[in-house]
Each structure stands twice: as structure tokens, then as C-alpha cells.
Structure 1
Amino acid sequence: MNIGILQCDDVAPELQPRHGNYPDMIQTLLLAADPRTHFTVYACHQGETPSSTDAHDGWITTGSKCSANDDFDWIRTLSGFMRLLWQADKPLVGICFGHQLMARAMGGQVARSPMGWGLGAYATTVQEKQPWMSPWYSEDLQLLASHQDQVSELPPGGQILAGSSFCPIYMMQVGRHFLGIQGHPEFTRAYVSDLANFRRDRIGAERVLAARHSLKLAVHDQLLAHWILNFIARAKSGQQG
């Protein structure tokens, strides 16, 4: 499988020597699930735009410190490219910021969470089982997270697949070939721990302490890696669900 990574930010330079950059994290995650996967990275946050929607079997975004509601040229351009992918029936997986931008580009709404920062490991309940959710896991999913914004209103044709009281639209599917995930299956516990410390002044010591405590919990990153690849494969083949 050949995947185009739509890069929307860089890991802080202070953290890159230990953790790499965001595209590195996504490649590490998905290669562990299928070593045959190939990637091309597009630095969308630096103005790079793919020349064709047909260049890859599927597409995936990174997260970003920006908001999907920000009025930057590259965000408008990426929103337009997402709409081109939609029109061309191409698979797209949005991670965190990408999940939010997908929703907004397709007519949904994104807002600041009234419950503050989501940081650390969080549980969410799958509400709609899909054929690509294989292997199936019947318990609540636990993924790492780092966000303030979240999808507040689904776009037309959107369906909630998983949610929680903290983030009701945690995972959504739009049509057959768009999937949005608020959590970060590509993050590691070590990165989230360092990121929490790095952003302590913005987040607050109490939330940082809670986040670090939550990192003792199990996370289902590899399960989500298989789900993402399964979703792209099924959407590319034209299968429903």
C-alpha cells in the first residue's frame, strides 16, 4: 500500500532528537502493522500541495498545534485538497487536527472543548462496529491524546463511530472513504510525557500531572494501526463500511 502523509506541523526542535517528527511517528506506527507500506510526505504546513489525488492508495494527516478554525493560506489549501479527495472517492484518514479539519472542510463545526485540555491516555467507547475494525476489540479503546479543540458538529453524511463524555465525536466516518480520529495512535508514551512537560506553562501543572499518571494505562495504538490500514484498503476497493 502506498500512502501520502499530509504533514500539518513539526515536532518542537527540542523534542525531535529523541522522538523524530510527526511523519516519522505515523510511518513507525503503520510499518509495524504492515512492513510493505510505502509513504510520501507532503509538507502542507510549509505550502507543499500534492499535485494529484491519484498519487497514492490513500492519504493520512498529522496533527498540528494550529486550529482547524485558523485562517492560514495552507489550511485553506489543505481544506480544498480534502474536498478534491472527497470528489475523487479517495481514502483519507484525519488524525487529531486532520480529523477536525476534515469535519470543517466537509461542512461540520470545530470548537474549543468546554472541559479543557485532553492530554494523556483517554478511553472512548466504540458505538458503531464497522467491517474494517479487525481484529475486533469489544472493550473501550484507549489512545493517547493532546488537544483543546474537537469536532462539535458532524458534517453532512457524517456518522459517530466512537465517543466519550469528554469528546463525544472522537471517531467519525464520512461517507465510505473519510475517517477521522481525535486521538493519536502514532504518539508514544515517552513523547506525550515530554510534550506535557514542554507545554507545562500552557497546560498547567495539575493537568500535566494527571496526564503523566494516565500514561501507566494500556493504549491500543497497534489495534488502530490495523484499523487504519484496513479502512484505506476497503475504501480503495470500493467496499462498503
Structure 2
Amino acid sequence: MFATTKPQKVLIVLHQERSSPGRVGQALISKGFDLDIRRPALGDSLPETLHRHAGAVVFGGPMSANDPEEFIRLETEWMAVPLKENKPLLGICLGAQMLSNHLGGKVEGRSDGGVEIGWYPIEATEEGRALFDWPSMVYHFHSEGFSLPSDATLLATGDSYPNQAFRYGEKAYGIQFHAELTRAMMHRWVVHGANRFELPNAQLGAVHLQGRMIWDNHLRAWLDRFLEHLFMEEGVEAVAN
């Protein structure tokens, strides 16, 4: 296991009061990082620079990246900070869609209303396979997807929503699926999101929980490799807190 020479902070951007960084947070702490948790939707500001952070992770939420709320606009514009400073940046679901919007992409749902809520297959591209092995099934909970921004590299694709993961520049990544869910988080999502299981292409809650037993170990292992790659293998230098 790699270790940082000094404690480093990773900026964690969440979008609801009870949201958690889940296994992403657990993995980063195990690798020697501290978590700087901000919730812009609840009035928290975002730092003007990441000079005192090792990078940032922007998580998902029930809102749309196209919503008119001020925090959506400010958060989307803020992504210029890690991009300009070449800091590791990971956008998950909503976070990936905000990153796509920031880079000139487009976020929208399918014309037939189809969603990805449950377990769906993905396939790594040649560029994605060059980084590491990818899981064949991943967990989704979204009704919109993102277009591939100009100059971005597609890393994984899917049937319902073709753009599942991309890299922009050296250290910015967007992924449409969720690898961060703990068992408790998935149970909460299944309970509180049950009204969405009737949407086109959505899976019933029982399928969510059954799929976890089958595919989650591979997804969890992928997440650990990915975070190792993003935060530990690209020359992130320790900074004083």
C-alpha cells in the first residue's frame, strides 16, 4: 500500500445533507488522505485553489447538471480550478455530467425516457484497457447522460448510455456509474428511490441487491485500483496542511 509522506486533503464535494463519500472516502483515508467535505448546495464555498489539496472528487445527486440553481452554475465553473492546476479530479454521475458541461459537452436524457437504475454492463475501450482492468457490470442510478467533450478520451462505453467513462487531460476523469456505495448506502437508495423503479429500463429493487452479491466485489476492486492510479501513481506531492 502506498502512503503519503504527510497528511493530504482531498476535496470531497457532496450534494445533500446526508450524502456520504462512501467507499471512496474509506479508500482515500486508508491511503493516508484527509477528507475536506464541502456541500455547495447547502451554502459551502469551494476553494479558489487546490494548492493545499491533493485533488477533488465531485459526487452525484438527485439534481440535474442543467438545473438553474446558482450552486450548479458555480460548481460547474469551479471545475476550471483543478483543470488549470492539473490536480486529480474525479466526477461521479452528476459530477461527471458537470465536468462534461464545463468542457462544452451536453447533458440530456434519452429520447425514449430510458434510464439506467440498477446493474448494467459496460465495456472498456482500448484506451481504458490500457490503464487497468474494468468491471463488466456496474451500478447506475441516473436518467441523464453526458456527451463526450471535445479532446476527451472515451474509456468505457455501454448500451443504454454510450459514454460511461472519460479522461480529459492528464488527471481529470468522469464516470457515469457508482462504485462508491457501501451496503448501507445501497439499501437507502433502494428504499428512497423506489418510485423511480417504474421508469423505462429501470430494474426493481430486488435486482439491485441481488446484483450486489454477484458483481460488487469486482466493482470495489476496480475502485481501489482507480483511486490508486488517480491519486497515488501520478506524482501527487505531499503538501502541508
Same fold (TM over 0.5): yes
Confirm or deny: 8 A CA contact 2:14 2:58 kept in the other structure: yes
Q: What corresponds to 2:231 in structure 1?
A: 232
- Pairwise CA distance, 1:149: 1.0
Q: Does 1:54 align with 2:51?
A: yes
- The C-alpha deviation readout for 1:105-142, integer Å capped at 9, x for no partner, is 11111111346231222221111345984xx43x6433
- Pairwise CA distance, 1:174: 0.8
Q: Secondary structure at the match of 1:108?
A: coil
TM-score by length of 1: 0.81
Q: What corresponds to 1:173 in structure 2?
A: 167
- 51-60 or 210-219: bigger deviation: 210-219
What 5-or-longer segments of structure 2 have no aligned partner? none
CA distance in 2, matches of 1:222, 1:201: 30
Match among 6, 24, 27 for residue 13 of structure 2: 6
CA distance in 2, matches of 1:91, 1:131: 20
Identity among equivalent pairs (%) = 21
Would the alpha carbon gap of residues 194 and 23 (structure 1) be closer, same or farther in structure 2, given more than 3 Å must change? Answer: closer
CA distance in 2, matches of 1:185, 1:29: 12
Q: What corresponds to 2:34 in structure 1?
A: 38
CA distance in 2, matches of 1:40, 1:94: 16
Would the alpha carbon gap of residues 236 and 157 (structure 1) be closer, same or farther in structure 2, given more than 3 Å must change? Answer: farther
Q: Does 1:160 align with 2:160?
A: no
Q: What corresponds to 1:124 in structure 2?
A: 122
Confirm or deny: 8 A CA contact 1:121 1:142 kept in the other structure: yes
CA distance in 1, matches of 2:128, 2:116: 26
Would the alpha carbon gap of residues 214 and 116 (structure 1) be closer, same or farther in structure 2, given more than 3 Å must change? Answer: farther
TM-score by length of 2: 0.81
- The C-alpha deviation readout for 1:1-47, integer Å capped at 9, x for no partner, is 53111122344xxxxxxxxx32344312434xx44222111112223
Confirm or deny: 8 A CA contact 1:96 1:181 kept in the other structure: yes
Q: Secondary structure at the match of 1:163?
A: strand
What 5-or-longer segments of structure 1 have no aligned partner? 12-20
Confirm or deny: 8 A CA contact 1:132 1:234 kept in the other structure: no
- Counterparts of residues 1-241 of structure 1 (less than 5 Å): 2=8, 3-11=10-18, 21-31=19-29, 34-48=30-44, 49-113=46-110, 114=112, 116-129=114-127, 133=131, 136-137=132-133, 140-151=135-146, 153-204=147-198, 207-209=203-205, 210-219=207-216, 220-237=219-236
Q: Secondary structure at the match of 2:83?
A: helix
Aligned residues: 223
Cα RMSD, aligned residues only:
2.6
- The C-alpha deviation readout for 1:169-218, integer Å capped at 9, x for no partner, is 10100111210111111113443244223222233297324434433421
Question: Could you tell me which amino acid in structure 2 is paired with residue 148 of structure 1?
Answer: S
Question: Could you tell me which amino acid in structure 2 is paired with residue 45 of structure 1?
Answer: A
